[in-house]
Chain A
């Protein structure tokens, strides 16, 4: 079916169609977890980096990358799990952030990563409610429905919502 070897550009296009199983509006390129694509003849190597060490979506994402490439007749695929440099929310695209908010998840607020600062009982990050856009919101728990999200609630419209944690 495939007459010619795939180009790197084509692989990137195909990866744009692979979505995060937890946040299906985001492609894995929006998320910034694809670090590199290498094509050597028929052999394609894709390096992805986990958002969190235990992210259970990584296996699903790896499978979906294989399936998407397989649909194009690309069978020799190696997927590498690259730990360093560690993923940061800075790698999330601007388009990704807009899609996230439209989906009902507040996007990461830059420069608010917990990082290595152990700011005990510190002020919560001001996060905008994705529903009514109010900034009168409060943190319910630093640990939300998945490892990458915190749980917030809006004080104006009372909507409980997920906040994609800033991770730098």
Chain B
């Protein structure tokens, strides 16, 4: 049994992380911090945790040393205090964007300011196990992943790993996202009257998560288009790319089958029968699965690759727990066995 704490536990990512860690068989949660909810029971903010935890939110200045410290702070906060956090956690998993991008110039381009602790960037492993599993074993520091980047990267994974597309060619990635991606703080656009029934393309290109696709997939000419839809949870990435000359449907089957076989949370969904023939976010809600699928127009080489995830799970907290499992040398599925719901 190891000790863990969460710094910044009142947001949606922190709440989901706490839900997973409370149920994890090898973990004891010591502290969860929140300045804005100091002294409140965690279930008063995360009501699904009622009767599962009697923890109260702590002051961040009272955090004690633990085996694994999870940072679930707003972007930019962790990098300013990373040395202090490293003194408290033997291992750190940071869910924010602060340590995802290794190239300081790339970071500055997409995040609009220089990094506060560039010397720490090489110490962190990028937190997607499907890409960095081997490096995570024995690692001390792992970054978070962008939810949209994760949906896109896992849609691209079979195509890139098998070398089926030109990574420098223009690749268009349409992502539909639910409202929980914008966090628990709220703004005028998150009022129910404004957010309900939305199908709104809020970022045609230039989304920050593009940097993670460039870094992790070598997709130097990828463009991300973000559309908000009427979901609370869920992200669906639809990648449009062109396969290399001669690539066939069977080559794609082989590549996608391999990706699903090599990764316990990646499932190939390409059914010929029934209602659920393609990946859909609602089937993975609450689970750590990433469902992937594809269609190829062999007449012109246009491939459409799809990935559905729960943005708070595979896109954030579920993957963070998966990373902890790998750091500790445990089965990576430990505490993440929930299979989702149907119907939902």
Does B associate with A? no
Give the interface of A toward B (CB within 8 A): none
